[in-house]
């Protein structure tokens, strides 16, 4: 009697297990890459962003050389503002 109860319980749970197995894994939530603030990247509050600090944001990492206009290996707020103004002033390419 005991073994038949186990068989019935397992049989009842099989459709649930199959549904779970077929459910695709969810992607972990990705932090927003754009729209970060200078202050959120300047984790040591020294007024500039190092390459290590920039690594927290893929967009900033990819654009680091363009933003680092004086080539000192750090991003100062004025450099970022200047680089972003230059991007905004470019006419769209056709």
C-alpha distances in Å from residue 55, one per residue of 11, 42, 69: 51, 11, 18
Flag the least confident range among 2-6, 24-28, 44-48.
24-28
Nearby residues of 9 by Cβ (< 8 Å), 6 or more positions away: none
What gap in Å lies between CA 3 and CA 91, rounded to an integer?
76
Tell me the domains of the chain and their CATH numbers: 38-89 (1.10.238.10)
C-alpha distances in Å from residue 7, one per residue of 2, 10, 14, 15, 47: 9, 5, 11, 14, 67
pTM: 0.56
Q: How confident is the model over 32-78, as pLDDT tens digits? A: 445 689 999 999 999 999 999 999 999 999 999 999 999 999 999 99
What gap in Å lies between CA 37 and CA 52, rounded to an integer?
16
């Amino acid at each position: 009697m005991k073994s038949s109860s186990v068989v019935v319980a397992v049989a009842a749970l099989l459709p649930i297990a199959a549904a779970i197995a077929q459910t695709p894994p969810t992607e972990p939530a990705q932090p927003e890459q754009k729209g970060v603030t200078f202050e959120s990247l300047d984790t040591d509050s020294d007024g500039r962003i190092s390459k290590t600090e920039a690594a927290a944001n893929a967009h900033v990492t990819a654009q680091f050389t363009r933003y680092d206009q004086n080539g000192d290996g750090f991003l100062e707020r004025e450099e970022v503002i200047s680089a972003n103004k230059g991007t905004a002033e470019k006419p769209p390419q056709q």
